[in-house]
Chain A
């Protein structure tokens, strides 16, 4: 399966299993989504369970929130993560806070799926990766899948979670992994992470994936950048742990700390801008927990602190060359 198919399979399973699951968003119903993620679900499960909405991210989030309060388990799609901001108040002040502010009397288990990240020539309003705008909000869980296999297992866990989840999907990886060379467009065919069971399985939220194992450096990333890091590690010639974080809140402390204690060196890679990116949180946390194991400064490789560009996006996104150089830099001392 590619990532579209595995996400579709997860949604199909949840609709089959739980009559309280309901899916809606812009273009997700009859048409099956602009990326085809909900293709066929309306005809199979009915338009009362899978339907289109007005173009209104704030209204979608508010409606989902209310449905969740009244016993449903909505899965909504925000068509591009760049368009999530009209819903920001509903997510940050409402969904994230309701359980706490009501003393546990009310909660709303909404899953918001949203395609994020660059690499499709989408310019600055179809390419952003706003995960850190949500990791800073207590009450939300933040998930970022990277492969067909983890997309399905993480999505099922997200829907089953009784906490609200923001589920980022790296749109550049929907139909194939991305190794940082825009001229090569591989598919998921023959990729080990594209072997996806038809049935249900779960990847627990809060658990990272060790994508590669090595000894000289720990590379931490999420989303499409995981594959770029894999290429960079090969190019660098160093033996590295590659940690695909999968869940950003709560992140997998044991896996990260264990790896740093082993390698003593660390590179953190994300597409989003550097300042106040989630890499800053990871870097500070690693420093707090692993200072005496570190052999060299932690290095961040990120998108620049600029709007995301259109035709020059390859100069914006971290590529294998920058990441490999960063890995080499950690080995200098």
Chain B
């Protein structure tokens, strides 16, 4: 008890809306054209205070692009981006259905966040390193990964390139410089700085991009990353994907200031908040950060403001902790719809072509699934051979693992 006899208390934050409450977000005060684009090569953290406290947008509510941050992409590039996003959404949808019917052990969708990895990876060069979380599998489509191989991983069958060793969606794709996803969220953020510093050391034109969630930004690795990136001037792009939710924990629990972008400023890192459902703004900010990193000017810290429309994973039911329709109130809308409407507005797309694209991709996914299960399904296998438990623990199998292998095989 306190001196005055009253009981003490802890101020515990809460989510803005819980089930049964009506979600309503303030409309954003920021419009495309609000912010000018500083020179990425000479920009200092002080020059980005407005960008960190504001929101970079390119597409307005009517689907029109404007402002200095408009990347001026060709209609072909825009359609390409849209196609990747639609592919990811349909792929996720199919995979989730597989999970619900017992054909996958687990799944995680990118629903509502498709633009993040896709626009950002498209803004990079092929030699750049991608250090993702489980919410950026879309980067693999941009880097050309075969869908059959992705499904084989999710099943964990004998063609899974990581040999049934990790849960679904924990992809590894070396050919695309897409580094193995790890479940302890946050660890990749600080590791990415090391990857980037190795590029610096070797004098290569390589940039590393990485992401962390709003929730995991409370881990020490977030601080390690910003601090090491600042101290050693790493060519890295550090993205905090603020999708409002870490499973059931609202972003209000990740930071006491309700803001992620500006946390980069005291580390001396130029920091920008970007509309994460605006494909063009994401592309543009990432291209700016890449140019900055490649010029030797160092890291950029980006808050990608978005909303996790789906559940965290196949294992949680969001209606238990937030209003079921909360995502429909999100001021940023839906990334696929927004890019689609933009393309229609500029006369480069139509509802018919969109339906055609969806049908094409849907059959592509179905065909890929049929192909993948030829290499084994979850219930019946074939799985990777049991002796792969013992390989690649070390470069060579040491004697004690060989003994245990022989014991397992009955030898």
Contacts and interface: CB of A to CB of B under 8 A. Distances in A.
Interface of A: 22, 48, 53-54, 56, 58-59, 62-72, 86, 89-90, 93-94, 97-107, 138-139, 141, 161-163, 206, 249-250, 253
B202 interface: yes
Interface string B209-230: 0000000000011001101100
24 contacts: A22-B201, A54-B231, A58-B221, A58-B224, A59-B227, A62-B190, A62-B225, A63-B190, A63-B228, A66-B131, A66-B195, A66-B197, A66-B208, A70-B194, A71-B198, A98-B180, A99-B393, A101-B180, A102-B174, A103-B161, A103-B163, A105-B161, A162-B395, A206-B398
A56 B193 CA distance: 14
Interface of B: 129, 131, 160-163, 165-166, 170, 172-174, 179-180, 182, 184, 187, 190-199, 201-202, 208, 220-221, 224-225, 227-228, 231, 391-395, 398-400
Contacts of A141: 394
Nearest to A49: B201
A103 B224 contact: no
A207 B394 CA distance: 17
A195 B199 CA distance: 40
A103 B191 contact: no
Contacts of B231: 53-54
A157 to B, nearest CB: 13
Pairs of residues from A and B, 6 with the lowest C-beta to C-beta distance, nearest first = A66-B194, A59-B224, A62-B190, A70-B198, A103-B162, A102-B180
B180 A106 contact: yes
A105 B194 contact: no
Given A66-B191, A67-B201, 15 more contacts: A54-B228, A56-B227, A59-B224, A59-B228, A62-B225, A63-B193, A66-B198, A67-B197, A90-B187, A102-B162, A103-B163, A104-B392, A105-B174, A106-B172, A161-B395
Contacts of A65: 191, 194
Contact of A105 (B131, B162, B190): B162
Contacts of B398: 206, 249-250
A161 B394 CA distance: 10
A139 to B, nearest CB: 5
A80 to B, nearest CB: 19
B187 A93 contact: yes
A250 B390 CA distance: 14
Contacts of A107: 395
A97 B393 CA distance: 7
Nearest to B170: A101
B179 A106 contact: yes
A56 B228 contact: yes
A72 B172 contact: no
Nearest to B224: A59
A100 B393 contact: yes
Contacts of B170: 101
B197 A102 contact: no
B194 A67 contact: yes
Nearest to B199: A70
Contacts of A66: 131, 190-198, 208
A63 B184 CA distance: 16
A228 B384 CA distance: 49
Nearest to A139: B393
Contact of B201 (A48, A59, A94): A48
Contacts of A59: 190, 224-225, 227-228
A103 B172 contact: yes
B388 to A, nearest CB: 9
A100 B190 CA distance: 21
A101 B228 contact: no
A94 B228 contact: no
Nearest to B186: A89
Contact of B392 (A53, A72, A103): A103
B90 to A, nearest CB: 26
Q: Which of B180, B191, B202 has the most CB of A within 10 A?
A: B191
A301 to B, nearest CB: 25
A89 B392 contact: no
B191 to A, nearest CB: 4
Contacts of B228: 53-54, 56, 59, 62-63
B221 to A, nearest CB: 6
Contacts of A90: 187, 190-191
B221 A67 contact: no
A250 B399 contact: yes
A100 B161 CA distance: 11
Contact of A54 (B208, B220, B227): B227
Contacts of A250: 398-400
B392 A100 contact: yes
A65 B199 CA distance: 14
B198 A67 contact: yes
B362 to A, nearest CB: 29
B194 A93 contact: no
Contacts of A98: 180
A286 to B, nearest CB: 14
Nearest to B160: A103
B227 A70 contact: no
A103 B201 contact: no
A222 B156 CA distance: 42
Q: Which of A71, A103, A139, A253 has the most CB of B within 10 A?
A: A103
B182 A163 contact: no
A6 B192 CA distance: 33
Contacts of A253: 399-400
Nearest to A164: B394
Contacts of A53: 228, 231
A134 B199 CA distance: 30
A93 B198 contact: no
A77 to B, nearest CB: 16
Nearest to A98: B180
